[in-house]
Structure 1
Amino acid sequence: MTQFLSPLLSGFGLGAGLIIAIGSQNAFVLRQGLKRQYVFTVCTICFLCDSLLISLGAGGFSSVVAASPLFMKLTLWGGVLFLFAYGLRAFAAALRPGALEAEDGTASEVPLRQVVLMTVSFSLLNPHAFLDTVLLLGSLAGQYPGLSRLAFALGAMAASLTWFYGIGYGARLIAPFFRKPQAWRMLDIMVGCTMWVIAFRLAFPAR
């Protein structure tokens, strides 16, 4: 049980650290949550797109990595360096936090088709999404054998599900809080710590 719980939690922690950030996709989901328009549809599309990208990374790119021990080592340390840099960027952002401005829900309702197209665009037409899911999560998932790799991917998907539905349906509760720069400072610090802890565990695995 422990051999599956550890990669599951690692996948969840890394997935959460990568997803929780001020960005166009999260801002869009929060905005729809504030307006209470197609919240379930928007959250579901974001979750399914993330799951698709994570699956492609864990199932495809990781196989390429596993075929070459040298390539596996290079991608492992590349992931460690990326996580360290990502964490460093989060800590730097904590020194100059911003505030997320969201709509107050008074805007007229946008047609469902337009909302769907916008959601897919925010989810897939985003270079960071491919970097974080297909490349980074996929290469790190490749470090786990068999069912442990599946557990890692499921953990990352669970983080995506928790976050998107959380901010979509909890938007009216959390939006006032996240308009405060201090809130983003705490969030950035948490993300930075998560990235560095996972990087350390990858660089110095327990024997």
Structure 2
Amino acid sequence: MLTLLSGLLFGLSLIVAIGAQNTFVIKQGVRGEHVGAVVAVCVVSDVVLIGAGVAGAGALVQAAPGVLTVLRVAGAVFLLAYGAFALRRAWRPGALHADTSGRAAGLRPVVATAAALTWLNPHVYLDTVVLLGSVAAAHGAQRWWFGAGAALGSVLWFTLLGRGARFLRPVFARPAAWRVLDLSVAVVMAVLAVQLLRGA
């Protein structure tokens, strides 16, 4: 039980931060669009990556730094494009109206965006596969309990984030609030993209 709790706390320490993935989950939660699907993509992705880390795939990632470089560049390009669209929505009234008129985005592009924000982020591999995998290995035979705790943390966090964001809807009943959110998203994406490129 102690190992499970350690994994839970360590997993939460890695994912409870403002980033591209969490920002997207919050936005979908506020809009009330395909929240369950977005949460499922994030959780399943984390569980797969945590499992790979506990199984020892971190050594393979460290042995192929070129793969991480490609992921950094691809992830930076995607984040810049996503941030540019957010900036466009914030500054163009017509684009902003699409966010406040109740027009729902399709399931496929929403799921694809959630997957891209997860799998194109090299920090996800460093955090879950390499770092978490290394810490789990220190628990020896109980490393899978540590991994289970980290996976539980992912389930709890993304569910809370996605479902809890609906309480912000009264705030986002005003178009100005969407403008602030989109500007914030654009800034976060740009900062993350620069960080990725600096590490490439």
Q: Could you say whether these structures have the same fold, taking a TM-score greater than 0.5 normalized by the shorter chain as the test?
A: yes
Query: What residue ranges of structure 1 are gaps of 5+ in the alignment?
Result: 66-102, 180-207
1:61 Cα deviation after fit: 3.2
Residue 60 (structure 1) aligned with residue 29 (structure 2): no
Answer yes or no: is the 8 Å Cα contact 1:29–1:168 preserved in 2: yes
**Which residue number in structure 2 is paired with residue 110 of structure 1?**
105
Q: Aligned to 1:170, what secondary structure does the other structure show?
A: helix
SS in structure 1 opposite 2:57? helix
Please, which runs of 5 or more residues in structure 2 have no aligned partner? Answer: 61-95, 172-176, 178-200
Aligned to 1:184: none
CA contact (8 A) 1:61 1:139 kept: no
8 Å contact from structure 2 (residues 55, 133) kept in 1: yes
Which residue of 13, 19, 23 maps to 1:23?
19
Provide the alpha-carbon RMSD of the alignment: 2.4
d(CA) in 1 for partners of 2:25, 2:43 = 11
Mapping of 1:11-90 within 5 angstroms?
Answer: 11-61=7-57
Q: Hey, what does 1:71 align to over in structure 2?
A: none
- Aligned partner of 2:147 in structure 1 is 153
Aligned residue for 2:100, secondary structure, equals: coil
| Distance in 2 (alpha carbons) for counterparts of 1:46 and 1:170 | 16
Q: Which structure features the higher share of helix residues?
A: 2
Q: Distance in 2 between matches of 1:174 and 1:8?
A: 32
Structure 1 residues 108-117 or 149-158, which shifts more? 108-117
**Separation in 1, partners of 2:112, 2:152:** 24
- Which residue number corresponds to residue 162 of structure 1? 156
Indicate the percent of aligned positions where both proteins have the same amino acid.
40
Q: TM-score, with normalisation over the residues of structure 2?
A: 0.62
CA distance in 2, matches of 1:149, 1:138: 9
1:137 maps to which of 132, 137, 140: 132
TM-superposed deviation, 1:60: 2.2
CA drift at 1:174: 5.9
Identify if the C-alpha distance between structure 1 residues 51 and 42 changes in structure 2 by more than 3 Å, giving closer, same or farther: same
User: What are the superposed Cα offsets for residues 91-129 of structure 1, whole Å, 9 maximum, x if unpaired?
Assistant: xxxxxxxxxxxx996253111110111010111110110
